[in-house]
Amino acid sequence: MMKRLDKAERVALWQAARQAREYSYCPYSGFAVGAALLCEEGTVVTGCNIENAAFGPTICAERTAVVKAVSEGRRSFRAIAIVGGPADGELTECYPCGVCRQVLSEFVLPDRFEVICGSAEEDLKSLTIEELLPHSFALRPEKE
Ligand code: THU
């Protein structure tokens, strides 16, 4: 079983996600999300949601972080923290959408990657991708 992040590591990653949320571009939904992706070697890659007038091209904070990391040669990930809520309001408990769960599952082992969610640093939830996306689709089921 994987070694989970300790509390201080979780809080630090969550704070990085909260900071990244400041850059959210969400004029249509008014819902701002930030994500912080912890790479295996310790680098943190952040992302925010970026909306578009045509709606379809909108990208979530989690996928922004993943595409930034992969496009810079990083593909081994330990955890992601997600912070979201109305741009001008309180944070809410925000879990990754189905598309982001699928994209994350492409690059991680389902029981070895932590998703950290919560609206306050004293109350963070940690779930694995296996818990968030059971029986997921893969073309490489033997992926190691
Ligand atoms: N959003 C994210 O960035 N991540 C999620 O996990 C859920 C939704 C964004 C997409 C859109 O810009 C806004 O939140 C409202 O759906």
Which atom from ligand 1 is nearest to the alpha carbon of 32?
14
125: domain CATH number? 3.40.140.10
Query: Does residue 143 have a pLDDT over 60?
Result: no
* Dist. CA 103 → ligand 1 center (Å): 14
Q: Cα(31)–Cα(9) distance, rounded to whole angstroms?
A: 26
Nearest CA to ligand 1 atom 13: 31
What residue numbers bound the domain in which 18 lies?
7-132
pTM for this entry: 0.96
CB of 81 closer than 6 angstroms to any ligand 1 atom = no
**Higher per-residue pLDDT: 116 or 4:** 116
In a domain, 1, yes or no: no
In a domain, 78, yes or no: yes
The per-residue pLDDT for 52 is 98
Q: Cα(62)–Cα(49) distance, rounded to whole angstroms?
A: 8
- Regarding beta strands 125-128 and 114-117, do their DSSP bridges make them parallel or antiparallel, or are they unpaired? antiparallel
Q: Cα(66)–Cα(36) distance, rounded to whole angstroms?
A: 9
The catalytic site residues sit at: 62
In a domain, 37, yes or no: yes
Average pLDDT, stretch 131-140? 92
In a domain, 143, yes or no: no
In a domain, 141, yes or no: no
Burial 97-133 (b: 16+ CB within 10 A, else e): eeebbbbbbebbebeebbbbbbbeeeebebebbbebb
List the single range of 24-28, 40-44, 138-142 with lowest mean pLDDT.
138-142
Query: Does residue 2 have a pLDDT over 80?
Result: no
The per-residue pLDDT for 144 is 52
CB of 104 closer than 6 angstroms to any ligand 1 atom = no
In a domain, 26, yes or no: yes
Which atom from ligand 1 is nearest to the alpha carbon of 26?
12
CB of 20 closer than 6 angstroms to any ligand 1 atom = no
Q: How many folded domains does the chain comprise?
A: 1
User: What's 95's DSSP letter?
Assistant: P
48-103 per-position pLDDT tens digit? 999 999 999 999 999 999 999 999 999 999 999 999 999 999 999 999 999 999 99
Cβ atoms of 48 and 62 within 8 Å: the answer is: no
- Confidence class for position 3, pLDDT limits 50, 70, 90: confident
